[in-house]
């Protein structure tokens, strides 16, 4: 698929090197977004586990304790 780029309001076809760089940037961004989503999910899991353990009177892990510290 042909990809285009706009520089100084002039639209032109991307060179192979530009397409490769753009693909690499997009792949890196996808990895970053996935890691970010996993971190958010892990924090929610730790928070839920901390609440359950506090109610049950069990010891918390450091990660769980960090989620409830204000």
> How does pLDDT run across 17-65, given as a tens digit for each residue?
999 999 999 999 999 999 999 999 999 998 898 888 888 888 888 888 8
Residue 15 confidence (pLDDT): 94
What confidence category does residue 66 fall into, taking pLDDT thresholds of 50, 70 and 90? confident
41 alpha-carbon distance from chain centroid: 10
Whether 61 is in a domain gets the answer yes
How many domains would you assign to the chain?
A: 1
Contact at 8 Å (CB) between 19 and 3? yes
Containing 59, the helix (H) or strand (E) segment is none
- For residue 50, the number of C-alpha atoms closer than 13 Å in the C-beta half-sphere is 15
Let me know if residue 68 belongs to a domain: yes
Residue 22 lies in a domain: no
69 part of a folded domain? yes
pLDDT > 80? residue 1: no
Does a structural domain hold residue 40?
yes
CA gyration radius, the chain: 22
What pLDDT is recorded for position 70? 53
């Amino acid at each position: 698929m042909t990809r285009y780029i706009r520089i100084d309001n002039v639209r032109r076809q991307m060179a192979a090197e530009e397409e490769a760089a753009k693909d690499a940037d997009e792949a890196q961004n996808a990895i970053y977004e996935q890691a970010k989503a996993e971190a958010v999910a892990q924090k929610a899991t730790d928070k839920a586990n901390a609440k359950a353990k506090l109610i049950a009177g069990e010891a918390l892990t450091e990660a769980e304790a960090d989620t409830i510290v204000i």
